[in-house]
Amino acid sequence: MPEPRSAAPRPVSTEGRARLRSHLGALNTAVLQRLDATLPWYRGLTPDERSALGLVAQRALQGFISWFDRPTTAGHVLQDVFGPAPTDLTRAISLKRALQLIRTMVDVVETRVPELLAERDQAPIREHVLHYSREVAFALADVYARAAEMRGAMDSRLEAVLLDAVLRGQDPDEIRHRATALGWRGDHRVMVMAGLAPGQDQPAFIPGLRRAAAKLDCDLLVGVQAERLVLVIGSVTDAQVVGEALTPWFAPGPVILGPVVDSLVEAHVSARHTLAGLGAAPAHPRAVRPTPAEDLLPERALLGDPTACEALVDGVYAPLTDAGTALLETVDAYGALGHSLEGTARELFVHANTVRYRLKRVAEVTGWDPLVPRDAYVLQTAVTLGRLAGSRPGVAEASA
């Protein structure tokens, strides 16, 4: 069965319509005066903006007069009131202010009706005002909804392009320009985070993810690449706190935190560590979630990640060798003899307390504690890579 329609407004006499048309200019002036008197934001607009809104009010009043001749054709309201480019209105004022504009027009018409029309036309006019203002409100909602959809789609495309430029480390000026267009504010202490994206059973996870980042006062770029979710996070004060807060938005599996860099232009460095860590994460199933990419240096090196090899050689092996042969020998013997203090002491002909002291110094020099099994593995991998790197020049000379 068709849905019941609301009762049509009672007709207005020909004389009443004529009087309304003759007072159209006065009504328009009264609307503009009321806007200026009651809405502070209207007084703060530029002359061009006030003129544009005045034109909207004039069209609305003219459309109201025409409404008497075709009160059921609501499709004409959008064109009648907002003209050929209704989305221009959305760039000038908010939806709330647009509704205040229409409400002011309705109030003026209802206030002036008793002095303009005979008593028999006053009630029908109020009914027409009610129906017409409802159609205008629906038209407004449609205009602003479509404008929001267009902005959302444009922002999504811009975000995808910006994210790709950031991850690839493209032209810095291009990155800054696109970030400014997108409203990116946190161009300091930037971190990349990656893991598996939620499945199709969570299609609306991105708005919730953005709200979670906003609670941390962080800017956020979101990219879903096949099964992978990649985040670029700005204004990171505490990487571990931010990582733990955003990890629940990822699917089960490893979540990797890249190092914090100074700006969005340098975020490709963090991305390189993050994505390499994500590829190597299956080799360290006992890793915490989220996992700093630095904690996966041995696994990344085994996969051939040059940044991990460089970090282990330059950040671990080189400081050991610079500190003297004793520390390097102690780490090597300690690892080879099954992490036995006594066995290492016998091998090196020193006291066990000397071994303990040297291992403590290793932790101070490198940041990795040989007494912790995982750290010992990192140190052993660094020593192996360092020796291989040191042997290459000699091998090259011999082959020549």
Residues 205 and 271 grouped into a single domain: yes
Total domains present in the chain: 3
What pLDDT, in 10s, does the model give residues 131-168?
Answer: 777 777 777 777 676 666 665 556 667 777 888 888 88
Does the pLDDT value for residue 376 go beyond 70? yes
Mean pLDDT of all residues in 254-264: 94
Mean pLDDT of all residues in 239-261: 94
Does the pLDDT value for residue 397 go beyond 60? no
Residues 288 and 192 grouped into a single domain: yes
What pLDDT, in 10s, does the model give residues 50-88?
Answer: 777 777 777 777 777 776 666 544 445 655 666 554 555
> Looking at the domain assignment, is residue 351 inside a domain?
yes
Residues 279 and 310 grouped into a single domain: no
Domain that holds residue 360: 306-399
- Name the pTM for this structure: 0.63
> Looking at the domain assignment, is residue 176 inside a domain?
no
Residues 260 and 288 grouped into a single domain: yes
pLDDT at residue 85, as a whole number: 46
Q: What is the CATH number of the domain that holds 375?
A: 1.10.10.2840
> Looking at the domain assignment, is residue 310 inside a domain?
yes
Conformational region of residue 228, where left means phi above 0, alpha means psi within -120 to 50, and beta covers everything else: beta
Domain boundary among 124, 149, 174: 149
pLDDT at residue 223, as a whole number: 86
Residues 365 and 286 grouped into a single domain: no
Average the pLDDT over each of 48-57, 66-75, 192-201, 355-364 and give the range with the smallest value.
66-75
Residues 34 and 145 grouped into a single domain: yes
Q: What is the CATH number of the domain that holds 194?
A: 3.30.70.2730
Residues 320 and 261 grouped into a single domain: no
Residues 142 and 204 grouped into a single domain: no
Mean pLDDT of all residues in 33-47: 83
> Looking at the domain assignment, is residue 262 inside a domain?
yes
Kindly report the average pLDDT of the chain as a whole number: 81
Domain boundary among 238, 262, 293: 293
Residues 286 and 356 grouped into a single domain: no
Mean pLDDT of all residues in 342-351: 91
What pLDDT, in 10s, does the model give residues 158-171?
Answer: 777 888 888 888 88
What percentage of the chain carries pLDDT values higher than 90? 40
Residues 375 and 320 grouped into a single domain: yes
